[in-house]
């Protein structure tokens, strides 16, 4: 049963209150793995409109560094909430600051655990691979099940998660990776922290000023938390397996859907 509201029906009054757009990256900003010109332009349009953009991703600290430096974003949450980064204009326009959830000692201890998990996963399913960006990760391990390897079955993905859980790790499944980590951090906690510390915006009382857009089951905590939640059209393929769905949906998929959302958001703000 279709439970989504087309994003075109979002009230203009709601759009005029939005001051920050939080967004997933893979298959939300990207389209078949690429950041389209129209999507990158949409990010700049939001900036020019005075709306902060904060990508929220499971991608690695290395990606976070690059995105925070080069994209028109206020900050970036990475590695499923283990860190956030931003350019500190109070020091100089190119000074990058990266805020970690865990200590250096905890990071090192967890790396030893990941080696045991990796060994067991690949002994059981040899056709998998670590994510290509794994060398640039600090806090988690990402197992690639369809990005640079042939697609694996849902049963195999469940098997990967079970191995992580056996060692006490938390997991999230994106459209391309199974991410596992140790600790109680998550995307939502770090998004709330970034909002308080960097945006000076307390989301517990200012949720009407924020919008989140995503594409997959690992975005469910965000869909549940944000009343102004949007799914790009490709989320329909997952809806039967999801408990928490976004309120709104775009007509187009992935990065094209993000661009569609930005067009309508800015249009309705100026009505």
Using H for helix, E for strand and C for coil, what is the string for 42-81? HHHHHHHCCCEEEEECCCCHHHHHHHHHHCCCCCEEEHHH
Does the residue 2 lie in any domain? no
Q: Indicate the number of domains in the chain.
A: 2
Whether residue 93 sits in one domain with residue 17: yes
- Which residue from 33, 13, 36 is spatially nearest to 260, judged by alpha carbons? 36
Whether residue 120 sits in one domain with residue 95: no
Positions of the chain with pLDDT lower than 70, given as ranges: 1-2
Whether residue 126 sits in one domain with residue 240: no
Whether residue 154 sits in one domain with residue 54: no
Q: Which residues contact 270 (CB under 8 A, 6 or more apart)?
A: none
Whether residue 94 sits in one domain with residue 34: yes
Digit-coded pLDDT (tens) for 36-56: 999 999 999 999 999 999 999
Domain boundary among 181, 204, 238: 181
pLDDT at 2: 59
Does the residue 5 lie in any domain? no
Whether residue 35 sits in one domain with residue 166: no
pLDDT at 3: 83
pLDDT at 94: 83
Beta-bridge partners for 181: 140, 170
Contact in structure between 130 and 141 (CB atoms under 8 Å): yes
How would you classify the pairing of strands 140-144 and 96-100? unpaired
Does the residue 55 lie in any domain? yes
Does the residue 163 lie in any domain? yes
Considering the entire predicted model, what is its pTM? Answer: 0.88
Cα three-residue angle 64-66-68, rounded to 5 degrees: 65
- Which residues span the domain enclosing 169? 104-181
Give the pair of three-digit tokens for residue 124: 């059981």
């Amino acid at each position: 049963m279709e439970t989504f509201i087309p994003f075109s029906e979002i009230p203009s009054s709601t759009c005029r209150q939005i001051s920050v757009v939080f967004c997933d990256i893979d298959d939300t900003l990207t389209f078949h793995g690429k950041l389209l010109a129209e999507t990158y332009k949409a990010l700049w349009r939001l900036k020019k409109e005075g709306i902060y953009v904060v990508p929220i991703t499971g991608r690695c600290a290395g990606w976070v560094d690059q995105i925070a430096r080069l994209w028109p974003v206020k900050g970036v949450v990475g590695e499923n909430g283990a860190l956030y980064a931003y350019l500190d204009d109070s020091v100089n326009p190119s000074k990058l600051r990266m805020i970690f959830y865990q200590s250096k000692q905890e990071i090192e201890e967890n790396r030893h655990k990941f080696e045991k998990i990796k060994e067991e996963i690949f002994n059981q399913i040899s056709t998998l691979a670590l994510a290509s960006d794994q060398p640039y990760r600090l806090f988690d391990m990402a197992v690639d099940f369809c990005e640079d390897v042939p697609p694996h079955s849902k049963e195999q993905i469940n098997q990967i998660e079970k191995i992580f859980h056996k060692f006490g790790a938390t997991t999230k499944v994106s459209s391309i990776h199974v991410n596992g980590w140790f600790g109680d951090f998550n995307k939502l906690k770090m998004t709330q922290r970034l909002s308080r510390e960097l945006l000076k915006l307390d989301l517990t009382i200012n949720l009407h000023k924020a919008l989140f857009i995503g594409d997959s089951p690992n975005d469910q905590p965000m869909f549940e938390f944000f009343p102004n939640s949007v799914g790009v059209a490709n989320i329909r393929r997952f809806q039967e397996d999801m408990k928490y769905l976004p309120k709104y949906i775009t007509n187009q998929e992935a990065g094209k859907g993000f661009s569609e959302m930005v067009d309508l958001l800015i249009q309705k703000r100026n009505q």
